Structure 1
Amino acid sequence: MKATSYWSRNFILILIGNALLFMVYNMQVPVLPLFGKQLGLTPAQIGIFVGAIMFAALVTRLFVPWFSGKFSKKVLLVVGILLYLLASVGYPLLGSFGLLVLLRLFNGLGHGITTTYFATSAADELPANKIGEGMGYFGIGTMMTASLAPLLALAIVQRVSFAAFFVTCIGILFLAMLAILGTTRSPRSAAKPTTKAPVFDRQFMPQCSLVFILGVLMSGVMTFTPIYAQAQHLTAISWFFFVAAIAGVVIRPIVGRSFDQRGPRLVLLISTVLLTVGLVMIAVISSNWLLITAGIFYGVADGAIYPTLQAWVFKVTTLENRDTATGMFLNSYDLGMGLGAVVLGGLVELLQYQGMFWVLSIVGLCYIGLAMGCSRRVA
């Protein structure tokens, strides 16, 4: 592979495998609550059933240094996809709450493993001077499937059945498995983590702090914008998420090249400003066009900030500690998403939806300053 090229067979297969796995993840997000409701689970049980995946993923990533020292990334990805398959096969067969939660925990183990090692495997294929651009393209597959998956999943459930939905998930996971089995070992992936690689490293606190807050902000938008828009008698919420996904896909290669040439500071300045503007627009939405425009701002910001922070982590870590850094980074984001939904739900009860989005706007304004402070040393 040439020093300036990263479009190797391995990179393409890893990108495809990751996109297919996230296709299944994003298909399950809107369907599993409906599946639980059909089985007669209470709202509290549905919340535990659906949310167990994040808890298991968080715990799994704490063992990343040990996994990396014992097994190759390819083996770990195969195991992670197999755990996803086990859960997808079991969901329609097991109807009790306890067994469903157990399956969701297995699903979470697979999710924690695959999200860590897909990202690091992709980074292993990239030359140092192209890591921002390469990870930008890597994330495009995830964003495209995130926009298409809910539409496909709900269409299958509404027009066919839950059984057909789970069969579709299983088929997609088999394709992801084939993609990974088709990869060969990269020289960079042979690097082993240090014997006592920490599960927490202060070196990555700037990036992890920023991605944690991003997770809080994103959880507010994703969880409460649909309900808030409905309360405002707006009908374009599907278009909000669609244009956000398209904007994120378009912007990723651009910000990736900017990161490679200038570092994270400029990208973070522009994208955090756009994110704050988008949050303010959501807080004051009064028409479908304003909602759609807010979706563009939100999509550009999300499509720029996350991959920039991820590429920044890869840039400053060593090959030996890349898996540990990725686990810490992903856990920070998931923790922000999980805690954000809980805390912001409480704010809604106190301040109503518009008040909560004004709080998010203020947090976004502070986020600009924090991003500039954290990236000062690499300007």
Structure 2
Amino acid sequence: MNNPKLWTKDFLIISIANFFLYFTFYLLMVSITVIATKKFAATPSEAGIASGIFVLGALIARLFSGRSIDRVGWKKMLYSGFILFIITTCFYFIVNNMTLLLFNRLLNGITFGITSTATGTIVARIIPNERRGEGTGYYALSVTLAAAMGPFLGMFFIQHAGYTMNYILCIILLVIGLMTSFFIKVPNVEITPEQLEKRKGFSLHNFIEAKAFPISMIGFFIGFCYSSILTFLTPYMQEINLESAGSFFFIVYAVFILISRPLTGRRFDLKGENSVMYPSFLLFAIALAILSQVHQGFALLTAGALVGLGYGTLTSSGQAISVKVSPKDRIGLATSTWFIFLDGGLGIGPYIMGLFIPFIGYRGLYMAIAVIVFACLFLYFSLYGRKAGRLELQVNRANRAEVKELTI
């Protein structure tokens, strides 16, 4: 039997729109700590807050947008998110002190959270169930490419063109993303009045998808650990005089994800999630250990390659798992639940790490984070990995029962 088609027009459009969305995220994220430090004389901890508060804003938005997207409409939320993201990005031009920077970063993060919840929910509906791991992996390449180009250009503009050009490029990219999204055909949302009624009120069930909670907890720690790279790699490279090689770190990161993604996505679908998750934890931990001891450009780029193979696979596979184990009518909540926890780790990480850097330095920080990632392997086994096979059987039975009910 032939696999259902994955590379449709709508899949390509939503992936392209998501690329421009995340391009802006990474362009700002990698440069904001330098802006806060050099322009507003912020401490490492304050610079970490300036970076992380954006992600906390995204987390707040996901809490509400995940439960509201079916009622508001998927396309309306996508358009409104892009427009508000553009507006709050324009506000950076008038920021002239640290307080205003933090406030606008929070607003900017909220608008990003709205938009990324919409793109994630739409693509989860578009991808066929039989190709869930492969499709989510290819969709995540839009984030991967953005994660390579955004930090690279962000570092370049900070060094050669200044802050203003950084903001101008962000606005241009977001406008292109908005225009691209006009051409997508969003699938019909089949939500019954009874299902919508259940989502009213402020019950935790209406904000978090319980079946996605275990893997999302893992996502929190994954995001926490990766924030050490996203936020502090630039000042670390400046400290050890590897800025030139450091600007190519994310390029290598992206190249190795591009190489590995077709293989890991198919393996996820054919062999199960454990076959890709366990090796990915090990590779991510090794990458951070190398980063803690790096003295030469080659070792730094080797770490970038391993981060791509490790962290890059963990995030796409984790998102696929969260959707896979959740009911079809709660795909939006499952997607937002995964990103709430992932963003939570990304947001809290910079502040906490910023407190320890004056005492243990960047090298000590990355070695400590390597240990945390290795410990996450055992946490994954405890929360999800050991029962992955049984959960898959339950999901298959539920899907068969749903098909039977519809047939009757």
TM-score, normalised to structure 1's length?
Answer: 0.88
Deviation at 1:88, TM superposition (A): 2.2
Deviation at 1:9, TM superposition (A): 1.3
SS in 1 for 2:329: coil
* Alpha-carbon distance between aligned partners in 1 of 2:131 and 2:235, rounded to the nearest angstrom: 40
Deviation at 1:301, TM superposition (A): 0.3
Who is 1:27 aligned against? 27
Who is 2:76 aligned against? 75
Who is 1:52 aligned against? 53
Deviation at 1:155, TM superposition (A): 4.3
Counterpart mapping for 1:1-379 below 5 A? 4-33=4-33, 40=40, 42-43=42-43, 49-93=50-94, 95=96, 100-156=101-157, 162-187=163-188, 189-191=189-191, 194=196, 195-196=198-199, 197-234=205-242, 236-373=245-382, 374-379=384-389
Letter in structure 1 aligned against 2:388: V
Runs of 4+ in 1 over 6 A off after TM superposition: none
Deviation at 1:146, TM superposition (A): 1.8
- Equivalent pair of 1:80/1:111 in contact (CA under 8 Å): yes
SS in 1 for 2:294: coil
Deviation at 1:278, TM superposition (A): 1.7
* Alpha-carbon distance between aligned partners in 1 of 2:290 and 2:253, rounded to the nearest angstrom: 14
* Alpha-carbon distance between aligned partners in 1 of 2:342 and 2:36, rounded to the nearest angstrom: 26
Letter in structure 1 aligned against 2:22: F
Partner deviation per Cα, 1:94-152 (whole Å, 9 max, x = no partner): 54665554443332221111111111111111110111111111111111122112333
* Alpha-carbon distance between aligned partners in 2 of 1:341 and 1:39, rounded to the nearest angstrom: 19
Deviation at 1:164, TM superposition (A): 4.2
Q: How many residues align?
A: 377
Distance 1:158 1:138, change over 3 A: same
Deviation at 1:237, TM superposition (A): 2.2
- Percent identity reads 24
Distance 1:171 1:288, change over 3 A: closer
RMSD: 2.7
TM-score, normalised to structure 2's length?
Answer: 0.83
* Alpha-carbon distance between aligned partners in 2 of 1:228 and 1:36, rounded to the nearest angstrom: 16
Letter in structure 2 aligned against 1:318: P
- Equivalent pair of 1:16/1:141 in contact (CA under 8 Å): yes
Distance 1:66 1:222, change over 3 A: closer
Partner deviation per Cα, 1:214-235 (whole Å, 9 max, x = no partner): 1122122333444445555545
* Alpha-carbon distance between aligned partners in 1 of 2:172 and 2:235, rounded to the nearest angstrom: 33
Contiguous gaps of at least 5 residues in structure 1: none
